DNA sequence: TATGCTTTTGACATTCATTTTCATTTGACT
DNA sequence: AGTCAAATGAAAATGAATGTCAAAAGCATA
């Protein structure tokens, strides 16, 4: 799965005429080894610990590339930090976010997705993407 | 309706021991006279034109109060600006956002709201709020 | 392997929304 | 009027993200 993603990025890079660089390899490795919903800063720090040379700007730039390549999805929750999560081909999910402990639970709901399409159609919208987040307290934090 | 909101803020302020100030009155008046989904900056400029003395910080602080008082809802779209919209008691809606012309269409969907509650319950979450935005091109911009 | 051209990088500066600071002003109560 | 905490606003600070640009690195070609 990790190999597939590396392959996918290689293909994307080749198609776009991007060069293969040590930095991009490292950042991809570390991103793929990371849990879901990493903030750019978290990732940057993790990268720095093994590769002190890599700069802030490069991490930002490279994550945008991953998103463009379809490997990563940008997530904007309400903490002022951009996060990225792994994209699993053909899958989609939304998020339950605990405002107590910041944990995130993922969920999928076919019916909601279908209703979203209907709503968009009814208003003549052509959907590009959507976001849906439910904020509240998780089972642990509500007590 | 405007009077009710002013009353509601008075009550909120009284309950919280907040003082009644000229600035808060002005900001509330202008907020209530404003169309939906105003950015803080837009509101600030509108306020300044009639009341040059009022500061940036006060507008930010006061809008947060309105949100806390239940008069306003903070809306974070993806343009880096915080917006506020009017809250109509007992009503809730979500947004279709056109990435072409930045227009916003509001919609309500009972079924989706119900499904959200079920999902949260299934995961033991206590919902505080949620956001759902569908991004795409409106009927005009898709052509 | 060396050359030449172009992309990429990273240190640093910059931007921009929002928050903080803090001296001054103001509201509310006596 | 006097007291005092709350509120204000100008200016500075913050912090995420982006822009700049000289130096470094990739890659095609000789
Ligand atoms: Mn996720
Ligand atoms: Mn709205
Ligand atoms: Zn929690
Ligand atoms: Zn449009």
Same domain, yes or no: B71 and B129:
no
For residue range A67-115, list pLDDT tens digits in order.
Answer: 999 999 999 998 899 999 999 988 999 999 999 898 999 999 999 999 9
In degrees, to the nearest 5, what angle opens at C-alpha B39 toward C-alphas A135 and A118?
55
Same domain, yes or no: A7 and A76:
yes
Chain A residues 81-140 with a CB less than 8 Å from chain B: 96, 98-99, 105, 107, 109, 111-112, 115-116, 119-120, 123-139
For residue range B15-69, list pLDDT tens digits in order.
Answer: 999 999 999 999 999 999 998 899 999 999 999 999 999 999 999 999 999 999 9
Same domain, yes or no: B61 and B122:
no
pLDDT of the residue at B143: 84
Same domain, yes or no: B11 and B49:
yes
Q: What does pLDDT average to over chain A?
A: 95
pLDDT of the residue at B9: 97
Enumerate the nucleotides of strand C whose atoms come under 7 Å of any protein CB.
Answer: 7-12, 16-21, 26-28
Give the position of tokens 């998020």: A95
Inside any domain, residue B12: yes
* Residue B79 scores a pLDDT above 80: yes
Same domain, yes or no: A61 and A26:
yes
pLDDT of the residue at A143: 83
CATH number at residue B59: 1.10.10.10
Range A28-57 average pLDDT = 96
Helices then strands (H, E): number in chain B?
Answer: 5, 6
């Amino acid at each position: 799965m990790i190999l597939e993603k590396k392959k996918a990025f290689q293909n994307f890079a080749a198609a776009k005429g991007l060069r293969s660089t040590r930095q991009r390899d490292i950042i991809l490795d570390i991103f793929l080894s990371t849990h879901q919903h990493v903030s750019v800063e978290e990732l940057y720090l993790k990268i720095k610990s093994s590769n002190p040379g890599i700069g802030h700007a490069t991490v930002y730039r490279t994550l945008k590339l991953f998103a463009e390549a379809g490997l990563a999805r940008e997530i904007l929750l309400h903490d002022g930090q951009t996060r990225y999560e792994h994209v699993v081909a053909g899958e989609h999910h939304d998020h339950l976010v605990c405002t107590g402990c910041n944990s995130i639970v993922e969920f999928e709901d076919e019916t909601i997705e279908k209703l979203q399409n209907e709503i968009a159609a009814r208003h003549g919208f052509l959907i590009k993407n959507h976001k849906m987040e439910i904020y509240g307290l998780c089972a642990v934090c509500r007590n």
